[in-house]
Amino acid sequence: FFSLSLFLSGKAQFSDISQPDSFQAVKLGDKVIISCFISNSARNRVWYKLTTERKLQLVASVDTMFNEIKFEKQFRHFSAISYSTNSHLIISRTAREDTGTYYCGVMKLQDVQFGQGTFLMIKGAKMISDYVVKQPQSHSAQSGDPVTLRCSVQFYQCDAEHTSVTWLKNSDHSAPEMIYTSGNHNSSCHTVSGESTCVYNLLMRNLSYEDAGVYHCVVTACGQILFGNGTRIKIHNAALNKSLDVSPGVTALILSNVIFGVVTLVLVWKLCKNHKKVANTDPVIYAAVTSVPRISSCQSAPVKHDTDMVIYSGVKCSQRD
């Protein structure tokens, strides 16, 4: 992977500079506006272009105080609009060589802050009729696994030896990145009846969630730039998938434990319910009363005997002085 800050020793702060479009594709000769929004009113601003050949080029320098915009010689067909909170780059009529990644930057003393970058792709009419670029639509992999991306290119009027391939990663959560391969040793080509077909491979090892995104192969052939439709890489968590892969025996054991727990809870609930029902009933206690002789100091009272039995529900005894 490549970062523009490695060239300029700048410090990228994406929160201050926003380039909302990470990828734009227009037809050859069309007008295009590359937008950039800045949260502060910095005076000095710059635009840089990173070509598909890995060359860094200064496009324009902007001085907002004096409203001056200076373009480099090869970018005289460009224009720009710069206000306090934005700096937009405009190409009124695009050319093939305008393909590349454009970075909006702000200069603060010796520090340069850049946006996420916008990759601009110029589609020419000949690219459809003379060349065919094919890529698989998607590829699923687990974190930590390797994956090989493939890009198949058919050439009708161009020698396969005069081609080179780079890869563009486009993600919703990070800036577009160019991946450069060393030569074409990772490709295989064959020619039949004047038609050449080459397959270019990109091997990626030890995948992580940061590698998820859409990968486009960018083929430079005989002065033209071909752009693949892109392959989306989806990363899955291997540990999570393994934990979800449960054998039938383990599933049956878990289910039996759940059923046992539910039955236990029902039995406990019924026992508690019956216990509360018994506790809420008012108890009636019956006791038989027998005659006990009193001590001599107490006055005797006549006792009336009756054949009928008397039942008392309570007895209260008090002692006289």
Report pLDDT digits (tens) over 145-157.
899 988 888 876 6
Average pLDDT over residues 65-81: 91
Which residue's entry shows tokens 């160019």? 178
What domains, with CATH codes, occur in the chain? 5-123 (2.60.40.10), 126-240 (2.60.40.10)
pLDDT above 60 for 281: no
Nearest CA-CA partner of 225 in 113, 130, 290, 140: 130
Query: For the whole prediction, is pTM greater than 0.75?
Result: no
**% of the chain residues with pLDDT over 90:** 15
Q: Return the higher-pLDDT residue of 13 and 218.
A: 218
Tokens standing for residue 121: 């792709």
pLDDT of residue 245: 52
Report pLDDT digits (tens) over 12-38.
445 688 998 888 889 889 999 999 999
3-state secondary structure at position 224: strand
Question: 76 vs 53, 79, 92, 225, 283, CA distance in Å?
Answer: 21, 8, 11, 22, 106
Q: Would you say 170 and 213 are in contact if contact means Cβ atoms under 8 Å apart?
A: yes
pLDDT band with cut points at 50, 70 and 90 for residue 268:
confident
Q: Which residues contact 77 (CB under 8 A, 6 or more apart)?
A: 91, 92, 93, 95
Q: Would you say 118 and 18 are in contact if contact means Cβ atoms under 8 Å apart?
A: no
**% of the chain residues with pLDDT over 70:** 68
pLDDT above 50 for 241: no
Residues 164, 181: Cα–Cα separation, whole Å: 9
Helix (H) or strand (E) holding 131: strand 131-134
Arithmetic mean of pLDDT over the chain: 75
pLDDT of residue 91: 96
pLDDT above 60 for 165: yes
pLDDT above 90 for 88: yes
pLDDT band with cut points at 50, 70 and 90 for residue 124:
low
3-state secondary structure at position 140: strand
Strands 87-91, 32-34: pairing kind: antiparallel
